A and B are shown apart, each in its own frame.
Chain A
């Protein structure tokens, strides 16, 4: 029997404006058998999404060159005339995209969009329109959405429901192949679990073969029979999921599967890292399947992709190797935990920072009918952060965790409640420039998006020394010396001072952001999802770096994250937020080992 999807020697390259050519997929071959779920795993730039688009024949022909062969149930897609590929698209091969809000038309009702997907391939005839409508309502019900909502527009649905609509749309014509490109990446953990379960259920029911494109090894472990690891446009390793997760032949696969902490990792241990982030395109191709390109388990401070990307292509295995820090619990973490439990016994010391019964409302009417229609982002949260500890604030989107963090940073004015830093009332900091300025000496931030949080028009030196310029009397030379030291501390080099942010990779930018936050030796660092925009291997490097710095400098941190496994790995104490309230808080081992709140248990169950 022919495979549902057969890819042979697929090469996809994009032509740039100046005649440059980037190879995104480089000679990839694999088969997707009928009824199978294959995970296509890789980090950003690995070419995994390009494979999906090439199989659909959806590339812009003007600037893309596709060669090799993609057979959908025996029918060639590469080089086939548009009409032939169109007959396959949506009928025998369909696709679910990552961002369902963007992928659904905001101008048409969900029902109309579903019906169109059916109508395009239905034989012309009098009853086509009515059939399509009926079919649309049926698939909507099948994915768990009441048929009555077919008349609603996508923006009125939740993220999970939108992704269900996308799945319904892809499956409406019972295709042989479904390509799901990061179908649950934008969703909260519990919703992700529900959508994946639905996808698995429908897959079993229809026998559609699924190519699941993802960066998330946890997702693959949950739903895929087999997995194929991609790096730099090439297929690195392929095999049964269980085998690759437990006993991969390739070091990169081992690093990738071990880079993200899970709920079973020993907290505080060094995470596996891949030596260098794979350079995009052809640069990596030269290394081929060379084992030397990836070194596993090095301490980040020594390796950590410390070169700007422009220089990355030239280096390889020649760099000095570090020892395996392995899975041992760091002594400092252990001692800190001990100190904490000891401290708890000797009576409550004054907290470094705290909020008491914090409430924050957004919007709503002003004037006479004040407060009506307001969104209550935070409703009565009390938290404390002690000196030297890391508090993890975990919750799903909309839980109020970032708003709480912004209040503590003096960037958001609370509606009510007490906010104190080192015993001082800072609740007016957001409105009081002088107070905020004083506060910023002691409280610094690390942001989620390493691209948006660094001014592209400033050099690294300007970025890192700005806090010093504002708060200290150091002269330019002294500031520069301090910045050079900071860069080395975060695993970059003094030579990088004169460069601009765009010359660095995402992980390196996050290091620059951390160096900036450290410049004033703040007493508290507030990190809002500092690793969630990064690839897992880079996430591991940055987490390792933060653990090193914490140990070295005795930092206090508020660590905001949606990722329970990361919080468990990194934090001493944990507060779980939901809908503006803290549903549970306590020492890490208590919250994760013996969760009291049903919501915490739900979150843990959904974590893959």
Chain B
């Protein structure tokens, strides 16, 4: 187990290193000049050169990359456009000359929004998708099955920006059934926090639930005729209890794996949902940074997204191994 974890962490480190290298390469491939952007449109050539020097952009790329990696591990001191020193503690993701703050702080400001949005959406995805799929399988061929399968298919085929705005209009502006979506920190009270995020959770969850529903249905159908489910019924358990305790356990593996991938993706930011509901999360930060050529922020958000995917996929593997004692972690 310890060996497995160690190997897994090493693997993750290699993946993340490759991603930083790729993202950093992008930094130089991009047709923009970070110094010019940082300095602003009114700078003359000498001023830009001065800024370039203070930003360390006149160093060879390899040296800059090593500098970046050193910053990730040990922190570093970065000079701002005006030459003043900024202390960027580890893990230093660089400094955004557009936002005038360290990238980590920029992400940190927005991360609670992303965390809240993704966490709630995952709960909706798991409950709605897996619940619908499991129920549809147990009632295979009935009206319930067709209704649930059809309902989740609607989710898969509708776009977030359409569904989001439509529901906002129907439930918030026209009828006042729901409060205006928005982010209130959890610290200000869970009621306001949940109320503001309820609609985004439902929309993001519903749209992503279909693939889970389909997988849950087919997995359940495959498992429900296993010998051990029959044995459980032979003991005198009710069919429902046998399916909840045994069928669901047997069907869970691939669902957990997929949920891990989904979690990794959502924690990296959900740009469309954030935009539709006016939530300032990491997704919006990432897209804005691309639009504004804010390269340190681009690299930082890309790295963050990759980090979450790697972490959640590994976590899913651990859960699968815990669910099924036959799985050996290797």
Q: How far is the CA of A470 from the CA of B323 in the complex (A)?
A: 49
Residue of A nearest to B246 (CB): A105
Q: Which of A83-91, A340-348, A450-458, A522-530 forms part of the interface with chain B?
A: A83-91
Question: B53 contacts the other chain (Cβ, under 8 Å)?
Answer: no
Complex Cα spacing A121 to B237, Å: 9
Residues of A within 8 A of B228 (CB): 102-106
Verify B236–A120 contact, CB threshold 8 A. yes
Q: Which of B227, B233, B246, B324 contacts A89 (CB 8 A)?
A: B233
Residues A105 and B323 in contact in the complex (CB < 8 Å), given A82-B238, A99-B227, A120-B237: no
Most A-side CB within 10 Å, residue of B141, B234, B323, B326? B234
A88 contacts which chain B residues (CB < 8 A)? 236
Q: Is A86 touching B246 in the complex (CB atoms < 8 A)?
A: no
CB distance from A81 to the nearest CB of B (A): 12
- Interface 1/0 per residue, A86-102 and B, CB below 8 Å: 11111100110101001
Q: What residue of chain A has the Cβ atom nearest to residue B140's Cβ? A: A62
Cβ–Cβ < 8 Å partners of B326 in chain A: 106, 153, 155
Alpha-carbon distance between A65 and B43 when the two chains are bound, in angstroms = 87
Pair B231/A105 contact, Cβ less than 8 Å: yes
State which of B230, B236, B324, B325 has its C-beta within 8 Å of the C-beta of A103: B230
- Which DSSP category, helix, strand, loop or mixed, fits chain A's interface? mixed
Q: Are A153 and B325 in contact (CB under 8 A)?
A: yes
**Contact, CB under 8 Å: A90 / B234:** yes
Number of interface residues of A (CB under 8 A): 29
Most B-side CB within 10 Å, residue of A107, A113, A169: A107
- For B238, the chain A residues whose CB sits under 8 A away are 82, 86
B70 within 8 A of A: no
B232 within 8 A of A: yes
Contacts of A116 in B (CB 8 A): 232, 235, 237
B250 CB within 8 Å of chain A: yes
- Measured CA separation A82–B249 after assembly (Å): 24
**Is B58's CB within 8 Å of the partner chain A?**
no
Q: Does A58 contact B (CB under 8 A)?
A: yes
Closest to B241 in A: A120
Roughly how many angstroms separate A89 CA and B239 CA in the complex, as a whole number? 12
Bound-state Cα–Cα, A90 to B226, Å: 18
Given contacts A62-B141, A106-B325, A107-B323, contact A90 B249 (CB under 8 A): no
Total inter-chain residue pairs, C-beta < 8 Å: 68
Q: Does A259 contact B (CB under 8 A)?
A: no
Q: Which chain B residues lie closer than 8 Å to A446 at the CB level?
A: none
Q: What is the interface size of chain B, counting residues whose CB is below 8 A from a CB of the partner?
A: 21
Looking at chain B's contact residues, is the secondary structure mostly helix, strand, loop, or mixed?
helix
Given the complex of chains A and B, what is the CA–CA distance between A62 and B233 in angstroms? 16
A102 to B233, CA, bound (A): 14
> What 1/0 flags go to A68-85 for Cβ under 8 Å of B?
000000000000001000
Write out the residue numbers on chain A whose beta carbons fall within 8 Å of the beta carbon of B231: 97, 103-105, 113, 166, 169
Nearest A residue to B238, CB-CB: A86
A62-B239 Cα distance, complex, nearest whole Å: 13
- The answer to whether B236 and A87 have CB atoms under 8 Å apart is yes
Taking CB atoms, residues of chain B closer than 8 Å to A106 are 228, 250, 324-326
A102-B226, A107-B249 are contacts. A91–B236 as well, Cβ < 8 Å? Answer: yes
CB 8 Å contact bits of A121-160 with B (1 = contact, 0 = none): 1000000000000000000000000000000010100000
Q: Determine if B230 and A58 form an interchain contact, defined as CB atoms under 8 angstroms apart.
A: yes
On whether A97 and B227 interact (CB within 8 A), knowing A106-B324, A106-B325, the answer reads: yes
**B236 & A86 in contact (Cβ 8 Å cutoff):** yes
Contact B250 A107 (CB under 8 A): yes
A117 at the interface (CB under 8 A from B): yes
Known: A97-B231, A107-B250. A121 touches B236 (CB 8 A): yes
**A62-B141, A102-B227 are contacts. A107–B324 as well, Cβ < 8 Å?**
yes
Q: Mark A546-583, 1 if CB is under 8 A from B, else 0.
A: 00000000000000000000000000000000000000
Nearest CB on B from A568, distance (A) = 34
Residues of A within 8 A of B323 (CB): 107
Interface residues of B in 208-266 (CB under 8 A from A): 226-228, 230-239, 246, 249-250
Contacts of A113 in B (CB 8 A): 231
* A56 interface hit (Cβ, 8 Å): yes
- Closest Cβ neighbor of B325 among chain A residues: A153
Query: What is the CB-to-nearest-CB distance from A597 to chain B, in angstroms, rounded to a whole number?
Result: 36
Which residues of chain A are within 8 angstroms of B249 by Cβ–Cβ distance?
105, 107
A94 in complex: contacting residue of B141, B227, B234, B237, CB < 8 Å: B234
B129 CB to nearest chain A CB (Å): 22
Give every chain A residue within 8 A of B236 (Cβ-Cβ).
Answer: 86-91, 120-121
Interface positions of B (Cβ within 8 A of A)? 141, 226-228, 230-239, 246, 249-250, 323-326
**Additional 15 contacts, C-beta under 8 A, given A90-B236, A104-B228, A105-B232:** A58-B234, A94-B234, A97-B231, A102-B228, A103-B227, A105-B228, A105-B249, A106-B250, A107-B250, A107-B323, A107-B324, A107-B325, A113-B231, A116-B237, A153-B325
24 contacts between A and B (CB under 8 A): A56-B234, A58-B234, A62-B141, A82-B238, A86-B238, A87-B236, A90-B234, A94-B234, A97-B227, A97-B230, A103-B231, A104-B231, A105-B249, A106-B228, A106-B325, A107-B246, A107-B323, A107-B324, A113-B231, A117-B235, A120-B235, A120-B237, A121-B236, A169-B235
